Amino acid sequence: MANPFNLPMVGRSLRNLLSRPATRRYPSETRPHFAGTRGTLEFDLDTCVFCGLCARRCPTVALTCSREERYFAIEQLRCIACGVCIDLCNKDSLRMSVDAPHVHLHTGAAPGDPRPGHQEWHQKPPDGSPPVPGDAAGGTAAAAV
């Protein structure tokens, strides 16, 4: 029979009762982010030269880039935040942010419905023809919480 007074957990438990709770009250209290934390991929249309290096080397095929159509797209749902594209980019057009919305809602199942997590950008072609209808400003389907 083991010693019934041998209860090493008791001290620990008492200390816990008396100490401050460890829980962070997310979402009212957020954890401070460290510099360099990887997060959601963000794209800067103004600096991109559409070389397509990032799209060719992306291990998950999350990026689409077309030089002819001056088109760039990110599938946020596929991105694994490895950072290969950011390292490759000579123009610093890509970066990561931790502040972007982290949740994408289902946006409908019909063929025309925007795909969740799909973001695309079109740049005005250099010959002056009108830009492709859509949004030059940014994402189409990133629903924030």
Partner 1 sequence: MDKDAFLARVDRYHRDGWRLAIINTTSILPAEGMDGGAFDISWSFASDQLIEHVRERVLPGEEVPSISTSFGAAFLYENEMRELFGVNVTGMALDLKGQLYQTSTIVPFAPSAIRARLDALGRGDPAPKHEAGAKKA
Partner 2 sequence: MKRTVVPMGPQHPVLPEPIVLDLVLEDEKVVDAIPTIGYIHRGLEALVERVEYTEFGYVVERICGICSFMHGMGYAVAMEEIMAVEVPERARWLRLIWAEMSRIHSHLLWLGLGADAFGFENLFMHCWRTREEVLDIFEKTTGGRIIFSVNRIGGVRRDISDTELAAIVEKLQQLGAGFAATARIFETDPSIRHRLSGVGILSREDAHAVDAVGPMARASGIRMDTRLTGTHLYDRLDFEPVLETAGDCLARVVVRVREISQSIDLIRQAVDRMPKAEGAPIEVKVRGLPTGEVFERLEQPRGEVIYYIKANGTKYLERFRARTPTFANIPAMIKLVKGCDLADVPNIIMTIDPCISCTER
Partner 3 sequence: MPMSLFKRSPWILHYDGSSCNGCDIEVLACLTPLYDVERFGVVNTGNPKHADILLVTGSVNERNIEIIQNLYRQMPDPKVVVAVGACACSGGIFARAYNIQGGIDQVVPVDVYVPGCAARPESIIDGVVSGIAALEQKRKRSA
Is residue 121 within 8 A of residue 85, CB to CB? The reply is no
Name every residue whose Cβ is closer than 8 Å to that of residue 137 and which is 6 or more positions away in sequence: none
Interaction between residue 22 and partner 2 (CB under 8 A): yes
Which residues lie closer than 8 Å to 117 by C-beta, 6 or more apart? 75, 76, 77, 78, 104, 141, 142
CB closer to partner 1, 53 vs 100: 53
Two tokens at 1? 């029979």
Per-residue x/- mask for partner 3, residues 73 to 112, rule CB under 8 A?
--xxxxxxxx-------------------xxxxx--x---
Terminal Cα distance for the chain, rounded: 57
The H-or-E segment that residue 18 falls in is: helix 9-18
Contact residue for partner 3 among 64, 95, 116, 123 (CB under 8 A)? 116
Q: By CB under 8 A, is residue 83 in contact with partner 2?
A: yes
Name which of 80 and 136 has its Cβ closer to partner 2. 80
Which strands form 71-75's sheet, in the order they lie side by side?
A: 63-66, 71-75, 118-122
Establish if 56 lies at the interface with partner 3 (CB under 8 A): no
Shortest distance (Å) from residue 52 CB to partner 1: 10
Give the range of 51-59, 63-71, 114-122, 135-143 binding partner 2 by CB under 8 A.
51-59
Q: Which residue has the tokens 């997590």?
A: 117
Instruction: Return the one option of partner 1, partner 2, partner 3, none that residue 130 interacts with (CB less than 5 to 8 A, by type).
Output: none
Stretch that binds partner 3, among 7-15, 71-79, 83-91, 120-128 (CB under 8 A): 71-79
CB 70 within 8 A of CB 125: yes
**Which residues are at the interface with partner 2 (CB under 8 A)?**
2-3, 6-9, 11-13, 22, 34, 36-38, 57-59, 80-84, 87
